[in-house]
Chain A
């Protein structure tokens, strides 16, 4: 492990900075002399989707370096709000901040991608199995309430060898505001002009049809219990609960099942210019093997932070997070790790 030594060193530097920096509102807090190992403390808040991974990362990071990071998974919206108000050291979000929101913090924000998430389209159709396929327009029309029966020709055209029932389609979607909804509606907005015009994208939207379930588990329960339902959940949730995930026709015209690999492929095919602010949407990515309903999830960090101790502490963590060991932890928890070129770009960004 060649990295360990330098990491410890970095930790020590951070420790020194944390104790030396005495600015009001600084992330660094004084610790009693009895606990020399623990140094700076950071607080963060935001997205619930990557929270299990962040909790794991912050725990390991605290043990390795003594830098404690408190993370509250209050939702992306709350994360953006608290970051803007300056009540936390960093935010976390599944949907990038809008230009207006960035203007509210005087443009002083960096979006740093951490891992990748994806949204599974799941359904309950007895006798049909796990092989259903959809494309973006059909999905949009189902969620718009235009396609109302499973036996609709357009579903049939995508699934020529599947015996589809004549039942009504019951749409199930999230009732609570959620990054999952953001990613899904972002994809539908790209796939269908009508969706983009009538509904748009957001953490909560004005759904034309459907039942609202609270959280991934609410949606799942509703789908599991009643035949004829269709809905969307986080890929991790679908994988760990063994839900069927539909194949989606991607921009290159291939049917792709959501897997960690196909999600990573979507990220790899995203075009990131060297000066990027990482606020890119990777839904409907062009590569032939990419799963189209994928997205980055971001940390929100202050650009040109006047509190240099805090900036250094955060940068230290970000560098640690980009190392293979940390990214492997992501894969263990079913999160798709960042592709190497993206890691390089983030590393470059953090240096500034």
Chain B
């Protein structure tokens, strides 16, 4: 850090000095930028170290068994994170299942079908959705979404799809499905707006070529536009997934916070982020705190793995098609 000392006052000027001075300025500039760039891995390093250090006690006590056991008993100091990991992955997956088709539909409509006068206003509204704080989503979920789900949607699902294990059991309201739906609403703006950008980046010649060959609008979209944009679309989905995995406030307000793995989507669950937010401030025992740090470390790990997987996916998809990834 000491490298960024004040640039010394340039020596009073012989004519050759101006070149040297420019060079000196460049070097300082480069140094500053390098430091700025380095700060990211350094920060990340500290973060990982802190999490690891905080979790050391729990890691020493439980090792990998922490990931595979289900008890969470702060009184007896017995901790296992499996329901949390399951809850995080399940709620995010649910969110994507709902959000991806919807948001891609909106993105395609906005770029390919919507009248010009509609495109900008709708895109603007989508941007606005992304700016709503998650606690507001959570409150809306409690006051509007959950009563609606409990009174109408869940009973309907149980009556029509009740033969599936996902839609059985008592209906409380706060549940894995409620959390998945609120997450879907929260990630949709991201997938929609990035998806829209990606589709806009598809050259018009693609569409024109398809239409010239006698394709319908639908065929042009599915055969020419989407394949061209697919790596970008995967990127948009991954962005949404990243947001869903880490979302805390709205989820903890709607998921029911029960430390349990249930097949039914009507049953309450729990996520890693929600558990940390709920228990950290009141955790008194060292092991309890350490277990929460371990959960944070695992959440970090899950996000890294998911992101790495996504990179890999984009890379593999991009090899097949031309552009699209460049739009990201």
Q: Which residues of A contact B (CB under 8 A)?
A: 74-78, 80-81, 98, 101, 168, 170, 175-179, 199-207, 210-214, 218, 221-222, 225-226
Contacts and interface: CB of A to CB of B under 8 A. Distances in A.
B76 A75 contact: no
Contacts of A101: 284
Contacts of A226: 150, 172-173
A70 B283 CA distance: 22
A179 to B, nearest CB: 8
B247 to A, nearest CB: 14
Interface of B: 71-76, 142-143, 146-147, 150, 170, 172-174, 252-253, 256-259, 268, 270, 274, 277-284, 289
Contacts of B283: 77, 177, 203-204
Contacts of A199: 75
A199 to B, nearest CB: 7
A230 to B, nearest CB: 13
Given A176-B278, A203-B283, 17 more contacts: A77-B284, A78-B282, A81-B289, A175-B252, A176-B282, A177-B278, A177-B281, A178-B282, A200-B75, A201-B75, A206-B72, A211-B256, A212-B256, A214-B278, A222-B174, A225-B150, A226-B173
B268 A75 contact: no
17 contacts: A74-B281, A77-B281, A78-B281, A80-B284, A176-B282, A177-B281, A177-B283, A178-B282, A203-B282, A204-B282, A205-B75, A211-B174, A211-B258, A212-B270, A214-B252, A222-B173, A225-B147
A204 to B, nearest CB: 5
A197 to B, nearest CB: 10
B172 A81 contact: no
B278 to A, nearest CB: 4
A225 B173 contact: yes
B269 to A, nearest CB: 10
Contact of A175 (B257, B284, B289): B257
A77 B252 CA distance: 20
Contacts of B259: 206
A231 to B, nearest CB: 12
Contacts of A74: 281
Contacts of B143: 221
A231 B170 CA distance: 18
Contacts of A213: 174, 257
Contacts of A203: 74, 282-284
Contacts, number: 95
Nearest to A212: B257
Contacts of A214: 252-253, 257, 278
B282 A76 contact: yes
B282 A177 contact: yes
Contacts of B150: 225-226
B279 A204 contact: yes
A340 B51 CA distance: 48
Nearest to B252: A214
Given A205-B74, A205-B75, A212 B281 contact: no
A201 B76 CA distance: 10
A238 to B, nearest CB: 19
A175 B278 contact: yes
A179 B289 CA distance: 17
Contacts of A201: 75
A206 to B, nearest CB: 4
Contacts of A77: 281-284
Contacts of B256: 211-212
B172 A202 contact: no
B74 A176 contact: no
A101 B274 CA distance: 27
A96 B208 CA distance: 75
Contacts of B72: 206
Contacts of B284: 76-77, 80-81, 98, 101, 203
A211 B282 contact: no
Contacts of A212: 256-258, 268, 270, 278
A85 to B, nearest CB: 12
Nearest to A175: B257
A218 to B, nearest CB: 7
B76 A206 contact: yes
Nearest to A204: B74
B76 A211 contact: no
Nearest to A75: B281
> Which of B146, B253, B259 has the most chain A CB atoms closer than 10 A to its own CB?
B253
Nearest to A226: B173
A44 to B, nearest CB: 15
Contacts of A168: 170
A200 B76 contact: yes
Nearest to B282: A177
A48 to B, nearest CB: 9
Contacts of B147: 225
B75 A202 contact: yes
A271 B142 CA distance: 44
A218 B251 CA distance: 12
Contact of A205 (B73, B170, B172): B73
B281 A176 contact: yes
> Which of A74, A175, A225 has the most chain B CB atoms closer than 10 A to its own CB?
A175
A175 B274 CA distance: 9
Contacts of A205: 73-75
> Which of B258, B274, B289 has the most chain A CB atoms closer than 10 A to its own CB?
B258
Contacts of A75: 281-282
A170 B75 contact: no
A178 B252 CA distance: 15
Nearest to B142: A221
A284 B36 CA distance: 61
A210 B174 CA distance: 11
Nearest to B268: A211
A226 B72 CA distance: 27
A281 to B, nearest CB: 15
> Which of A179, A210, A225 has the most chain B CB atoms closer than 10 A to its own CB?
A225
A207 B71 CA distance: 11
